[in-house]
Homo-oligomer: A and B are copies of this chain.
Amino acid sequence: MSLPYLTEARAPLTREIEVINEHGEHETIQVPSERALTVYVDNRELVTLMTLGARPEWLVLGFLRNQRLVRGVEEVVSITVDWEVGAAAVKTRGGIERVEERTARRVVTTGCGQGSVFGDLMDEIDTIRLPHSVLTQAQLYGITSAIRLQESTYKSAGSVHGCALFRVKDSGPEMLLFVEDVGRHNAIDTIAGWMWLQEPSAMGGADKVFYTTGRLTSEMIIKSAQMGVPIVVSRSGITQMGHEVAQRLALCTIGRASSRHFICYSAPGRLQMQPELAGANPRATA
């Protein structure tokens, strides 16, 4: 498989600003960077993404993947990001078919950040078959624990969403990639782009779990499903459409996930309960 040529454009993830606190004191704090990145595909302007800028090439690749504008990584020749001009130039092998038509319909979706999904949200849902997989409660706790320990822009500057891809092994969950962005869709798209650059044989979904700090909205569920990942864990809750889509896909959604607490909203068959790990149950009678 021939992989695209990618630049490695880097830029500072935070910036210092001066503020005043409730005691009237001047302080210096960090805020996350936020930059406009205009994506040009074969010299044609496609979209402007607002991003933290951690991994712009993976973001653009994943955006094209998750918007289903490109069917395979081999269709992309190169992605050249230049922060001086805030542009990402994508060169494709054969162009994007019917790009006009396919980017014409706008759905302004619920999620943070990159809310627009070009085309019909539900387009491909019924063609997706997610692999069999089971996550144990102990492995789930391993995931929330790894997230808690992760160094992050969120800890230093707040105001960003995080996403992670885990491989679940008998020895415990392994964090393959952790990405933050000002919009959480950028974060999951960046993971999607990175996955396309790995050996396809290593990127099957049966042993994978997505983690997101953001809400479980329909687009997040659909993006996970499109990448074949059948379990999504979130620190936040779920929306109605997220729930409906997850049920239709038999995708396991777990929300409000903190150290010991969580709620499983859908496909509980994929979660092997070990309630003895949850500690004392306040409702249990003696």
A35 to B34 CA separation, bound complex (whole angstroms): 30
If A108-B49, A263-B19 touch, whether A237 touches B158 (CB-CB below 8 Å) is yes
If A17-B265, A238-B31 touch, whether A283 touches B23 (CB-CB below 8 Å) is yes
Q: Determine if A240 and B108 form an interchain contact, defined as CB atoms under 8 angstroms apart.
A: no
Separation in Å of the A173 CB from the closest CB of chain B?
17
Number of copies: 2
A264 interface contact, C-beta 8 A:
yes
> What residues on B are CB-neighbors of A24 within 8 Å?
273, 275
Q: A78-113: contact bitstring with B at CB < 8 Å (1 yes, 0 no)?
A: 000000000000000000000000010011111111
Q: Determine if B116 and A20 form an interchain contact, defined as CB atoms under 8 angstroms apart.
A: no
Q: Determine if B32 and A239 form an interchain contact, defined as CB atoms under 8 angstroms apart.
A: yes
A159 interface contact, C-beta 8 A:
yes
A262 interface contact, C-beta 8 A:
yes
Q: Determine if B34 and A263 form an interchain contact, defined as CB atoms under 8 angstroms apart.
A: no
If A31-B239, A159-B236, A265-B17 touch, whether A22 touches B107 (CB-CB below 8 Å) is no
A61 to B137 CA separation, bound complex (whole angstroms): 47
Closest 5 pairs between A and B when the two form their complex, measured CB to CB = A115-B115, A159-B237, A22-B278, A24-B275, A158-B237
